[in-house]
Amino acid sequence: MSVSKLPPPERVGSFSEKWPPKPTWKAPDDVPDLTGQIFLVTGGNVGIGRETCRVLVARNAKVYLATRSEERARIAIDDICKSTGKSNIHFLKIDLADLASVRKAAEEYMSLEQELHVLINNAGVLYSPGIGPQTAQGYDVQFGVHVLGAEPFSSFTFAAFAYEIEFLGHYFLTLLLMPTLLRTAKGEVSGKPTLVRVVSVSSDAHEMTAPKEGIVWDSLKKGDAALPARKKLTGTRLYGQSKLGMVLISSELARRYGDQGVVAISLHPGGVKSELLRHLHPIIAWIVEKIRIYPVSLGVITSLYAATSEAALEMNGEYLTAWARRQVPSKHAQNPELREMLWKWCEEQVSGF
Mark whether 222 is an active-site residue: no
Please say whether the dihedral angle defined by the alpha carbons of residues 126, 132, 133 and 138, taken in this order, is positive or negative. Answer: positive
The order of strands in the sheet holding 118-121 is 89-93, 62-67, 38-42, 118-121, 196-201, 262-267, 319-321, 325-327
Q: Which of 243, 257, 294, 305 is catalytic?
A: 243
* Strand bridging mode 38-42 / 89-93: unpaired
The single residue of 202, 219, 242, 251 carrying the catalytic annotation is: 202
Active site residue 273: no
C-alpha separations of 341 from 90, 245, 259, 348 in Å: 36, 11, 21, 11
- 64, 239, 294, 305: the catalytic one is 239
Closest CA to 3 of 327, 245, 329, 264: 264
State yes or no: is 104 an active-site residue. Answer: no
Q: Which helix (H) or strand (E) holds 327?
A: strand 325-327
CA separation for the pair 244, 75 (Å, rounded) = 32
Residue 104 burial by Cβ neighbours in a 10 Å radius (0-12, 13-18, 19+): middle
Known catalytic residues are: 202, 239, 243
